[in-house]
């Protein structure tokens, strides 16, 4: 029960990172999705840090 909300939190964080990156790329109008990649990787790093922090307790 301790990790029940972890999957939802992971999906939300990654989805938010992808959405923000996509919208920034649309607004700037670049052909290569720079912000999509940056925010996706940043969201993954935050998720990894959160998982490590939660599982150490």
Which tokens is 6 given? 């972890």
Domains of the chain, residue spans = 1-56
User: What is the full per-residue pLDDT of the chain (57 aa) written as tens digits?
Assistant: 667 788 888 899 999 999 999 999 999 998 899 999 999 999 999 999 988 888 887
Burial 12-39, CB ≥16 within 10 A → b, else e: ebbeebbebbeebbeeeeeeebebbeeb
CB 50 within 8 A of CB 14: no
pTM of the model: 0.80
């Amino acid at each position: 029960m301790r990790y029940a909300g972890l999957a939802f939190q992971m999906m939300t964080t990654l989805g938010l990172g992808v959405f923000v990156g996509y919208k920034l790329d649309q607004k700037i109008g670049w052909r290569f999705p720079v912000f999509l990649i940056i925010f996706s990787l940043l969201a993954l790093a935050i998720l990894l840090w959160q998982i490590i922090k939660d599982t150490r307790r």
